Amino acid sequence: MHRLEVPGARIAWAFSDESGYPVVQLHGLTSSRSRDRVLDLDLGRGLTGTRLLRYDARGHGHSTGRPVPEDYLWSTLAEDLLHLLEVWFPGEQVHGVGPSMGAGTLLHAAVREPERFSGFTLLLPPTAWETRAARAEEYRRAATFIERHGLDRLIAADASAPQPPASVGHPDSVPHVSAELLPSVYRGAALSDLPDPALIARLTQPTTVLAWTDDPGHPVSTAETLVSLMPHAALQIASTPEEVRRWPAVLAADVGRNAAASGAR
């Protein structure tokens, strides 16, 4: 298992080197590289001819972490991301792709160091700004529930929750975070939000935002706001699993466009 030390954690990573354009792929809250593949959110599986870095966020998957909510702020995860980019792609611009928490992490890193990124493919942007408070309260309640009743009870309670139409048919999966760390992970998410809209509006990188319908945790309204803020962003909305299965081709097209532009410079 390959791991890289960052403050308070060891990050598990995988690197596919086909001597091409640099790409970094992130995942969502409570997920991991392997779980995103089950959920059809591993868009990197369709890439060829790239240098693709995939990793598990601290506390998720095969990465380690501490039971400290502040460790899981999206701004903290952005620091981890920037550290990884400095190790794997020093001095290079990178295309970033990731869903939900991964999208939030990318945006926090980008407003800090916009020159590190050539473009983005942002999946399922999470609740943000005016929609964030209600979601944050749900995360705090989930953290307390796990501490009082255990993770298995939470999984059982969530099993009957309605699913977005575009995600129907996926195998059942559970959080890829330990019961010891999950309350802190949830509380860190509750303390997090997307960057200030004025900062996001300064990001001029070519961006595709991919959303799906009928998901209160990832409302289309956030995706629409991002596209309205970012001057070179486009939106695609899926309502069926078939449309989601086309998303790897969207990433491949985004990366190919960036690679062609960089070769022309």
Residues 6+ away with beta carbon under 8 Å from 28: 36, 41, 98, 99, 100, 101, 102, 124
Instruction: Check if the beta carbon of residue 94 is closer than 8 Å to that of residue 121.
Output: no
Q: What does the pLDDT look like over 160-173, one tens digit per residue?
A: 788 899 998 877 77
Q: How many other β-carbons are positioned within 10 Å of the β-carbon of residue 78?
A: 21
What is the predicted pLDDT for the residue at 92? Answer: 96
What is the predicted pLDDT for the residue at 65? Answer: 98
Domains of the chain: 3-264 (3.40.50.1820)
Q: How many other β-carbons are positioned within 10 Å of the β-carbon of residue 178?
A: 14
What is the predicted pLDDT for the residue at 149? Answer: 95
Given a cut of 50, whether residue 88 has pLDDT beyond it is yes
Q: What is the 3-state secondary structure (H, E, C) of 211-256?
A: EECCCCCCCHHHHHHHHHHCCCEEEEEECCHHHHCCHHHHHHHHHH
* Structural element, H or E, at residue 184: helix 182-190
pTM of the model: 0.96
Average pLDDT over residues 215-240: 97
pLDDT confidence band for 194 (50 / 70 / 90)? very high
Q: What is the mean pLDDT of the chain?
A: 95
Average pLDDT over residues 135-164: 92
Of 156 and 83, the structure prediction assigns the larger pLDDT to 83
Given a cut of 50, whether residue 212 has pLDDT beyond it is yes
pLDDT confidence band for 264 (50 / 70 / 90)? very low
State the number of CA atoms in the 13 A half-sphere of 178 facing the CB. Answer: 10
Token pair, residue 45, equals: 């599986």
Task: Convert 137-159 to b/e letters by CB count within 10 Å (16 or more is b).
Answer: eebbebbebbeeeebeebeeeee
* Structural element, H or E, at residue 88: helix 74-88
Given a cut of 60, whether residue 157 has pLDDT beyond it is yes
What is the predicted pLDDT for the residue at 119? Answer: 98
pLDDT confidence band for 197 (50 / 70 / 90)? very high
Q: What does the pLDDT look like over 100-126, one tens digit per residue?
A: 999 999 999 999 999 999 999 999 999
